[in-house]
Amino acid sequence: MLENHPSLRASAADAFRRLGCREVLEADNSGEALRLLQDRGPVQVVLCGLWLVGVEGLAFLRRSRGLVESVILHGWSPPELRQAALQVIRRVGLELLGEADTPLQPELLRELLGKRSHAAPQPNRQSFDCPVESAVRKGLTEGEFTAYYQPKFDIASGSVTGVEVLARWRHPTRGLLLPSDFMPVIERCCWWDELLFALLEQGLALQSLLKSQGYPLTFSFNLDASQLAVPGLDERVEARVRSHRLPSSGITFELTETAPLEHAAISLDNMARLRRSGFGLSIDDFGVGFSSLQRLCQLPFTEIKLDASFIRGLGTHPTCVAVIESTLVLARMLDMTVVAEGVETRAQHRQLLDMGCTQGQGFFYSESLTGLELTSRLAASHPVPVG
């Protein structure tokens, strides 16, 4: 239970216990809640007070992957904050049981918990069993983490314009693991740099090979906000790029928009240095958080990645169309590129093309590929399903 009002928290905890919950953990802020989850292990349900749905609350929901199975949102907040919370919940892969006003009604709580019980009478603990830290550290040390590549496409021509480099773990006994299986440990232990530079080395080697074969693709790597808070990031990145004799202009770093910047002065300096060195900077998940326009004004971004939730809303939610159209206009005025994430259908592709969006990414074009699969696809020049 994540609720800062003592009396509301006490009454809600009593309601949970009366409904048969074996153990109820209470926290009045997101930091305390994360510490409880890390110390006591995963839980089935989190009651999250909507007052927390700001930068702090979104950070909690984002970091709860692997520690929480389902969420009940509690209380009132402005519609735009509520919508941001719903988008983060979907992105992280949590099950949203529903929303409850204050004071919490036991009948409604019983109904919401019943939805979870009906969907999963026996909790599948394996679905959010995270590897222990020693296993992840061993995997990083022994090169078990491998790069996969999610292509970005020119929406009009169907040609591949670049790739986003994604992490996969070739576990010696569990097979290929997705980020949801190991990112909670990476995040908890702050091993972002170890993962980034492992992927950077693999990605740059492939980029150099593809360039020599006549495919000068842009490669994008994900950065966590905490990495920008450490001086010298630009120097370490530049050293790796120089060793592969690649131009910095062919490399972009994506920063997730919902992540708060730590040590703002150092972070701003790191970003400015990366831009001065010629690297591209992309604001990922654009539209999900609250600082989109502010960050565009303050930080030297070159690319906007529209969150997939807006693409899913095409054809059903006119507001999504308005957001996409206004973002495209804004990007043109700021001389920035827009990439539409999560394109999954022909109808979405067609509508984005009609709206003037030039780049897309998603399963309609391609799933993530190994380096060999990407190389083979480019060599075969298979047409992309457009039209």
pLDDT one-digit tens code per residue, 282-300: 998 787 654 467 778 778 8
In this structure, the chain runs to a length of 387
Return the number of other C-beta atoms located less than 10 Å from residue 245's C-beta: 9
Instruction: Give the best-scoring range by mean pLDDT among 72-76, 77-81, 265-269, 334-338.
Output: 334-338
What residues have CB less than 8 Å from 249, skipping those under 6 apart? Answer: 278, 279, 280
Q: What pLDDT is attached to residue 259?
A: 52
* DSSP β-bridge partners for residue 254: 222, 282
Q: Is 341 a catalytic residue?
A: yes
211: pLDDT strictly greater than 50:
yes
279: pLDDT strictly greater than 90:
yes
Over pLDDT 90: what percentage of the chain? 40
Q: Does the fold of domain 133-380 match that of domain 6-121?
A: no
193: pLDDT strictly greater than 90:
yes
Give the DSSP H/E element, type plus range, for residue 167: strand 160-171
244: pLDDT strictly greater than 90:
yes
Give the DSSP H/E element, type plus range, for residue 293: helix 292-298
Tell the CATH superfamily of the 6-121 domain: Response regulator (3.40.50.2300)
Give the up-direction half-sphere exposure of residue 36: CA atoms within 13 A in the CB hemisphere. Answer: 17
Q: Is the peptide bond before 103 cis (omega within 30 degrees of 0)?
A: yes
Measure the CA angle with vertex 56, ends 53 and 57; round to 5°. Answer: 35
**Which is higher by pLDDT, 187 or 263?**
187
Q: What pLDDT is attached to residue 120?
A: 41
**pTM for the whole thing?**
0.70
Determine the average pLDDT of the residues in 301-317.
Answer: 86
Distance CA 115, CA 96 (A): 10
54: pLDDT strictly greater than 70:
no
Instruction: Write a three-state SS string for 205-237.
Output: HHHHHHHHCCCCCEEEEEECHHHHHCCCHHHHH
Contact, 384 vs 153, CB < 8 A?
yes
Single-letter amino acid, residue 323: V
The domains of the chain are located at 6-121, 133-380
Q: What pLDDT is attached to residue 268?
A: 86
125: pLDDT strictly greater than 50:
no
Lowest mean pLDDT among 103-107, 155-159, 183-187, 349-353: 103-107
Distance CA 145, CA 139 (A): 6
What residues have CB less than 8 Å from 29, skipping those under 6 apart? Answer: 2, 4, 52, 56
Determine the average pLDDT of the residues in 372-382.
Answer: 86
Q: What pLDDT is attached to residue 121?
A: 36
- 68-74 β-sheet, strand order: 43-49, 68-74, 95-100
DSSP string spanning 64-121? Answer: TTTTEEEEEEES---HHHHHHHHHHHHHHT-EEEEEEPSSPPHHHHHHHHHHHHHH-S
The CATH number for 133-380, chosen from 1.10.3720.10, 2.40.30.60, 3.50.50.100, 3.20.20.450, is 3.20.20.450
Distance CA 202, CA 194 (A): 13
85: pLDDT strictly greater than 80:
no
Q: What pLDDT is attached to residue 312?
A: 82
**Which is higher by pLDDT, 250 or 73?**
250
What residues have CB less than 8 Å from 144, skipping those under 6 apart? Answer: 138, 169, 170, 171, 172
Distance CA 261, CA 282 (A): 15
Over pLDDT 70: what percentage of the chain? 86
Q: How confident is the model at residue 95 (pLDDT cuts 50, 70, 90)?
A: confident
353: pLDDT strictly greater than 90:
yes
Using DSSP, state whether 175 is helix, strand or coil: strand
Contact, 320 vs 287, CB < 8 A?
no
210: pLDDT strictly greater than 90:
yes
Q: Which of 69, 254, 257, 341 is catalytic?
A: 341
